[in-house]
Amino acid sequence: MPKWKLVTEFTFDSAHYIKDYDGPCGRLHGHTYKVQIEATSTSLHASEYTPHEVMVADFKSLRWAKKDVTKGGLDHGVLNDILPPEYETTAEMIAKYIYDETKQKVPEGVALKVRVSETPNSWVEYED
């Protein structure tokens, strides 16, 4: 059975603080977040931009988080104000949030893996 893996990478800049954290991360600060999304599927799909079944998922749908916060993304916002309360603003929960939101934007049957990095030396991966 064929299998396709699509990978896209992007960055966005946002501020956050970790609630009740005893240390510098408990204060408002910013990061250039680097996000990598892997989408895999055994079939190809259409998208809102093409009716032809020629892609795993549309790159535009996968990179929604890089949009400006005023356009529905995460760029140049305060994540504590953007993410729902059940998502604390640790890298782990930011990855889960991006996964959960992206999963709603891709066709059924597309498996996702989301990697989020706050610094060049540290990252987290989330998949369900």
**What does the radius of gyration of the chain's CA atoms come to, in whole angstroms?**
15
Residue 87 phi/psi, 5-degree rounding, is: -110, 105
User: What is d(CA 24, CA 124) in angstroms, rounded to the nearest whole number?
Assistant: 20
User: What is d(CA 86, CA 97) in angstroms, rounded to the nearest whole number?
Assistant: 10
| Total count of domains within the chain | 1
29 pLDDT more than 90: yes
33 pLDDT more than 90: yes
Instruction: Output the pLDDT for position 116.
Output: 98
CATH of the domain at 68: 3.30.479.10
pLDDT band at 126 (very low <50, low <70, confident <90, very high): very high
pLDDT band at 1 (very low <50, low <70, confident <90, very high): confident
Angle of CA points 58, 12, 116, to nearest 5°: 80
Task: For residue 10, give both structure tokens.
Answer: 């992007």
Task: For residue 46, give its domain range.
Answer: 4-126
88 pLDDT more than 90: yes
